[in-house]
Chain A
Amino acid sequence: MLRAGPPRKRRAANSLFCYWNHNFRGLKNVADFEIPALKEYPVIPLIQVGSMAHSKPFVAKPDHQDAVGFPHELVDNWEEKAVKKLGELVQGSRALQVFLDACVKCGACTDKCHYYLGTSDPKNMPVARQDLLRQVYRRYYTFAGKYFPWLVGARDMDKEVLDDWYSYFHQCSQCRRCSVFCPYGIDTAEISMAAREVMDSVGLGQKYCNEILGKVYTIGNNLGLPEPALRNTLEGLEEEVKEDTGVDVRFPLDEKGADVLLVTPSADFFAEPHVDGLIGYGKVFHQAGISWTMSSYASEAGNFSMFIGSGANLKKTTRRIREAALDLGVKRLVVGECGHAWRVAYSFWNTLIGPFDFLDPKYPAPQHICEVTHDLIQRGALTLDKEANDHRIITFHDSCNVARASRMGNMPGGQFVIPREIIKSVANHFHDMAPDTIHESTYCCGGGGGLLTDDLIELRIKGALPRVEALKQVVDEHGVNFMAAICAICKSQFTKVIPYYDFPMEMIGSLHQLVSSAIQLKTKE
């Protein structure tokens, strides 16, 4: 049951709202850098000092800065203010406090970052990235750094340091792979977030993240998709599914009294292949007879406030979700396929916008769409035809933030089991990639953490190398032709970059796209 290509409406919108997805089919930039060769066996490269020093994202303009509440441009005395802000952040975070002190420079993390593996730039080794911040912290806030800076590599805050920060803290996708392998769990993501917050606070913001946050505040989602357009799109989807299946599957918006509020990354409304996932959610709810709705006010699960480490913005963005849930009177909160969005929802929502005492206590709050689907499959509530996916040989990409910063189900590691069980219930051919590239050791897609922007395309292509190498192995060994993902960023990033490695972008799909293909709607009508 394959759909016959996207309808016109969808494709036109795709080029209008290109924040999530820059896949203009057929367009492959001629790169002015070398695409890394895919090796048979992963090799740890020798360091090449400064090889990515030129990589810098566009700087936020004054109106982007306004939206997130930061100064327009580099303020006077920024050195002093940056140091002061850093001190405040460390004082307010046990993680920073411990991480900045505890590193013994053992080197265990040096070969764990996909950006190091893909670029060979030593400042992309997690410990070296941390040191960019640690050198300043030591200089101003530790005994050794104050009196013996040369001994411990401490440095004054100056323009050169700031340039390094801007460059290399935007070469970290905050994927936490380093944190898994560090003997003290030092999480470079936390350091990157802090550095970005410090830079924002002195007026040096990143355009991509800050502009997107502005759209969330004014319009409700990262795409800047207003309510009428959203409604129109969803109606389009209803028609499309009707055409394909002959069944009236609804994609409701702002319907008061629904049981479930689905909050999903706005890419799901438009981008390819995300939208096939959304269709899948709709079919699941439909067949299970669950009444659900989306909200135009809280039409974004993604949350770039985390990427810029801004507590103020995290509070402000997530509050919209609580407001929408209360306003619509729903009983459950369900989150669509997205990695960092699920981290924010799973790990932070209860803290930021809880308690969820107004929701039905029978269900976890929030719940991942995969948990919902998995539950329904277990209970036999879905009619699935595995053969519908027989043309696909499938592998699964664990999204970094789902794998290492959240959970599904009620046992540790459920986030690995549940998606795979779903795939195995809807398809016959599934092969995992190499064990050291999946589960908690999964490699980031290379576009997470606020880096999914064309001004960082070189970084994105190179950073995808370890994942693509693992993919190539299962393609060669098992003929894999479909990599399912559960993250809007992963899907956008892969469709954009794997063509550079000579894989077709159609290989990338949503997990719920597989569910969508297998689900037999008519049987239960």
Chain B
Amino acid sequence: MSALTITYALLFYAATAILAIGVFRKIFIYARTPAPLLIPTTPAPTTATGVVWRMFKEVTVFESLFKSNKWIWIFGWMFHLALFLVLLRHLRYFTEPVWTVVALVQPYGKYAAFAMVAGLLGLWARRFVVDRVRYITNLSDHLMLLLLLAIGVSGILMKFGIVGIVDPAHTDIVAVKAFFLGLMYFDWQPLPADTVLVIHLTLVAVLMIVFPVSKLLHAPGVFFSPSRNQVDSAREKRHVAGWTAAETPGSK
């Protein structure tokens, strides 16, 4: 077994553990933290079903963002939808047999990579062009976009790259699949030593590791946002939690 295989096997175990534990820890904290007062942004649904519908629209079509800013919406939605398709397509590396949906999106999914990159470039451009957005941008915001762009571009290079420029042959995706299935079933298989693949995988590992300590927490966070997930039923149902449930005033 090559040093490369061992290194990347360990790296992906570590990255997976950090991602899973980190995100579950955060979800646990969000779920456990009380929401002492009712603060839905109104008009808000008056039933739980209504809230599910509101949340569904937020995460699928970014409803609030659509109302807010069409440029961010176009680029952002393009990026996220493309990312979704790309990730769906990637499931083929982790499933055997490959799920039908995953097989179905393969032909379209590969072009999603371009939409993803275009969306990211649009979002990044705003960070330079719009003075307000430039003002609120930190280095980490640039790096996050750079990271995702680099992942996207390295992926595209593997998929569509002219064979022979960086690596002598097209990435052996059958071997890649064997490597990852091997990780999952603790039956390690060698990882192909292609430069672009190794770059792609390294960046992906970085993404997984930073996920729980970065703004990517917006993905789990949105579901816990009280202004979006609370039912507007203040008069009908008494709500107490945290300091509002405590007897002594203001004991928080």
Interface positions of A (Cβ within 8 A of B): 44, 46-47, 49, 88-89, 91-95, 97-99, 101-112, 122, 125, 127-128, 131, 142-144, 148, 150-153, 176, 179-187, 190, 310-313, 315-316, 346-348, 350-352, 354-355, 364-366, 403-407, 410-413, 415-416, 440
Contact = CB atoms under 8 A, between A and B. Distances in A.
Contact of B222 (A91, A131, A183, A366): A183
7 contacts: A93-B33, A94-B34, A101-B221, A183-B222, A312-B249, A350-B239, A365-B235
B38 A351 contact: yes
Contact of B239 (A103, A108, A185, A351): A351
Given A97-B29, A142-B213, A311-B244, A184 B136 contact: no
Top-9 shortest CB links A-B: A312-B250, A185-B227, A102-B221, A412-B43, A181-B68, A315-B249, A107-B133, A110-B132, A185-B228
Interface in B201-251: 213-215, 217-218, 221-222, 224-228, 232, 234-235, 237-240, 242-244, 249-250
Contact of B30 (A97, A347, A403): A97
Contacts of A365: 235
A310 B39 contact: no
A122 B133 CA distance: 10
B42 A405 contact: yes
Interface in B27-72: 29-30, 33-39, 41-46, 50, 58, 62, 64-65, 67-69, 72
B224 A98 contact: yes
Contacts of A102: 215, 217-218, 221-222, 225
Nearest to B31: A94
A514 B5 CA distance: 79
Given A95-B226, A110-B132, A110-B133, 18 more contacts: A44-B132, A101-B221, A102-B217, A102-B221, A106-B65, A107-B72, A107-B133, A107-B136, A108-B64, A109-B68, A152-B140, A313-B250, A347-B37, A351-B234, A351-B238, A406-B234, A410-B46, A440-B42
A359 to B, nearest CB: 11
B45 to A, nearest CB: 6
B34 A127 contact: no
B44 A125 contact: no
Contact of A187 (B39, B72, B139): B39
A144 B130 CA distance: 26
B95 interface: no
Given A93-B242, A112-B68, A127-B136, A47 B131 contact: yes
Contact of B43 (A107, A112, A184, A415): A415
Given A106-B65, A107-B126, A128 B135 contact: yes
B246 to A, nearest CB: 9
B225 A184 contact: yes
A351 B37 contact: yes
B217 A46 contact: no
Contact of B224 (A94, A348, A412): A94
A72 B239 CA distance: 34
B232 A407 contact: yes
Nearest to A180: B41
A47 B138 contact: no
Contacts of B234: 346-348, 350-351, 406
Contacts of A176: 41, 227
A208 B242 CA distance: 29
Interface string B128-154: 001111011111110100000000000
Contacts of A416: 43
Contacts of A103: 215, 218
A350 B238 contact: yes
Contacts of A110: 132-133, 136
Nearest to A190: B39
B102 to A, nearest CB: 28
Nearest to B58: A183
Contacts of A47: 131-132, 135
B238 A355 contact: yes
Interface in B103-141: 123, 126, 130-133, 135-141
Contacts of A122: 132, 135-136
Contact of B41 (A99, A128, A152, A185): A185
B76 interface: yes
B26 A101 contact: yes
Nearest to B39: A95
B33 A94 contact: yes
A406 B39 CA distance: 9
Contact of B242 (A92, A316, A350): A92
Contact of A144 (B29, B67, B140, B228): B140
B252 A92 contact: yes
A412 B227 contact: no
Contacts of B34: 92-94
A187 B227 contact: yes
Contacts of A144: 140, 213-214
B222 to A, nearest CB: 5
Given A183-B58, A348-B38, A105 B137 contact: yes
Contacts of A415: 42-43
